[in-house]
């Protein structure tokens, strides 16, 4: 499989996947298909601009005609599908956009792949990158496995669950060679500052309140984004058709504990007195339908495909902070304009 269409390659995780594939496979051609929504940014990939194995195509996966033509012209051997609306808070205020991109967009890609690869499904692959949020919420114990029943609660997770079901249905019904992975929360460089970690870094840097939902009791498992990309690489190349893998860091953190750790790292990096950043923590009204705890069991991936996360959390978080402090221009670029309007609306009371 030499020509790979990566959707959403200008986003946070997609840009890391594009970079790893270009770096690891000198004989692959990578096409990055991205609409460049507020979350997509070609500044994430400036280092690849002149790479002969990399090409960017601007396009919208909700446009079925465009997607069909793209497959006819480019004839990709495989798809790694990451394009999505990805922010839970935005899904609460605008669920239809999530249905359009995450559900309709995925089905458009499946239809184009089915038509274009007909008669030769074995030599093509459709990889859907999904989330652990499809499994719903856990109590104090237990972990999500690949056989946990889907129980999504937010419009975002409902749209991702739906797209997972469509991907599986195209395998079971038409024999399309598909794989799915469901990953926990990612962190690292190039993460849009609407999400917890980059938002907190940006606000601490600018001495602004750091909003924490509810009492900060919600628990998430965190994985270094480059480890997610390496898991995708392994699954893409080694998984059986129709298979599913959970990806996670075995690294559960209560939001408030994570924010305190981040505050300590920021105080140190910015040369501020210990406790300065923590004074910025501000509790805000909890997110509607906020899942309490996610924890993911990735032992199938570890045992069958011999994958392990490479980075310990505190080290990864410190590296992430360094990246944001060294990349002012990137941060200014993504936090000007529309971001300010979104931020005011989201945190109007605080
Ligand atoms: P992101 O929001 O940073 O990037 C999404 C990308 O998709 C952007 O570049 C955007 O421009 C593009 N896009 C959006 N709508 C499009 C459309 N209609 N047509 C073409 N491109 C479009 O998201 P991310 O955090 O990088 O997540 C990537 C994928 O991984 C998503 O499918 C998400 O559900 C999944 N995922 C994310 C996490 C996480 O922690 N961020 C965890 C598990 C799974």
The residue whose CA has the least distance to atom 29 of ligand 1 is 82
What CA–CA distance (Å, rounded) separates 14 from 56?
12
What CA–CA distance (Å, rounded) separates 305 from 308?
9
Which residue out of 156, 170, 187, 245 is catalytically annotated? 156
Buried b (16+ CB within 10 A) or exposed e, 25-34: beebbbbbbb
pLDDT at 1 over 70: no
Q: Do 128 and 167 touch, CB atoms closer than 8 A?
A: yes
Q: Running DSSP on this structure, what letter comes out for residue 149?
A: P
What pLDDT band is residue 343 in, cutting at 50, 70 and 90? confident
**What pLDDT score was predicted for residue 341?**
84
82 CA distance to ligand 1 middle (Å): 5
Q: Tell the burial category of 89 from Cβ atoms under 10 Å away from its Cβ (0-12, 13-18, 19+).
A: middle
pLDDT digits (tens, 9 = 90+) for 301-328: 999 999 999 999 999 999 999 999 999 9
Which residue out of 60, 85, 133, 291 is catalytically annotated? 133
Please count the helices (runs of H) and the strands (runs of E) in the chain: 13, 12
Query: Which domains does the chain carry?
Result: 3-187+222-247 (3.40.50.720)
Instruction: Please choose from 5, 6, 7, 12 the residue to mutate so as to test ligand 1's pocket, defined by most ligand atoms within 8 A of CB.
Output: 12
What pLDDT band is residue 95 in, cutting at 50, 70 and 90? very high
**What pLDDT score was predicted for residue 342?**
86
Q: Running DSSP on this structure, what letter comes out for residue 78?
A: E
131 CA distance to ligand 1 middle (Å): 11
> Is 156 a known active-site residue?
yes
Parallel, antiparallel, or unpaired: how do β-strands 3-7 and 78-81 relate?
parallel
What CA–CA distance (Å, rounded) separates 263 from 322?
13
What CA–CA distance (Å, rounded) separates 86 from 191?
11
**Pocket around ligand 1 at a 6 A CB cut-off:** 7-8, 10-14, 34-37, 39-40, 60-62, 82-86, 101, 105, 129-131, 160, 183, 185-186, 192
Which residue out of 132, 164, 252, 291 is catalytically annotated? 132
89 CA distance to ligand 1 middle (Å): 14
> Is 120 a known active-site residue?
no
119 CA distance to ligand 1 middle (Å): 30
The residue whose CA has the least distance to atom 32 of ligand 1 is 82
What CA–CA distance (Å, rounded) separates 213 from 285?
6
ipTM: 0.99
pTM for this structure? 0.97
> Is 132 a known active-site residue?
yes
Over residues 88-117, mean pLDDT: 98
Token pair 């998984």 is found at 239
pLDDT digits (tens, 9 = 90+) for 23-55: 999 999 999 999 999 999 999 999 999 999 999
pLDDT digits (tens, 9 = 90+) for 232-263: 999 999 999 999 999 999 999 999 999 999 99
Provide the token pair at 141.
Answer: 């114990």
The greatest distance separating any two alpha carbons of the chain, rounded to the nearest whole angstrom, comes to: 65
The residue whose CA has the least distance to atom 19 of ligand 1 is 60
Provide the token pair at 27.
Answer: 């004989």
Q: Do 130 and 158 touch, CB atoms closer than 8 A?
A: no
What CA–CA distance (Å, rounded) separates 89 from 247?
23
**What pLDDT score was predicted for residue 350?**
58
């Amino acid at each position: 499989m030499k020509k790979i269409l990566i959707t959403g390659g200008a986003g946070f995780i997609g840009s890391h996947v594009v970079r790893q594939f270009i770096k690891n496979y000198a004989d692959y051609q990578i096409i990055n298909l991205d609409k460049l929504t507020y979350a997509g940014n070609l500044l994430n990939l400036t280092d690849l601009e002149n790479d002969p194995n990399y090409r960017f195509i601007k396009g919208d996966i909700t446009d079925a005609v465009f997607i069909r033509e793209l497959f006819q012209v480019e004839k990709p051997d495989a798809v790694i599908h990451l394009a999505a609306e990805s922010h839970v808070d935005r899904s609460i205020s605008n669920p239809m956009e999530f249905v359009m991109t995450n559900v309709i967009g995925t089905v458009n890609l499946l239809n184009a792949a089915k038509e274009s690869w007909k008669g030769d499904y074995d030599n093509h692959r459709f990889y859907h990158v999904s989330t652990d949020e499809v499994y719903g919420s856990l109590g104090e114990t237990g972990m999500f496995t690949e056989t946990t029943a889907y129980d999504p609660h937010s419009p975002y997770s409902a749209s991702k669950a739906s797209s997972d079901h469509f991907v599986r249905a195209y395998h079971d019904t038409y024999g399309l060679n598909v794989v799915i992975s469901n990953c926990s929360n990612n962190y690292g460089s190039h993460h849009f500052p609407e999400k917890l970690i980059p938002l907190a870094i940006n606000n601490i840097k600018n001495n602004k309140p750091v909003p924490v939902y509810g009492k900060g009791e919600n628990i998430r498992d965190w994985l270094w984004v480059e480890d997610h990309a390496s898991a995708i690489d392994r699954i893409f190349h080694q998984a059986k058709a129709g298979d599913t893998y959970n990806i996670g860091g075995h690294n559960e953190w209560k939001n408030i504990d994570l924010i305190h750790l981040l505050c300590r790292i920021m105080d140190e990096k910015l040369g501020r007195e210990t406790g300065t950043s923590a004074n910025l923590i501000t509790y805000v009204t909890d997110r509607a339908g906020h899942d309490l705890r996610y924890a993911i069991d990735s032992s199938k991936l570890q045992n069958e495909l011999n994958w392990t996360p490479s980075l310990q959390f505190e080290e990864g978080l410190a590296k992430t902070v360094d990246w944001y402090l060294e990349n002012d221009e990137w941060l200014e670029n993504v936090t000007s304009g529309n971001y300010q309007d979104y931020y005011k609306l989201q945190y109007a009371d605080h």
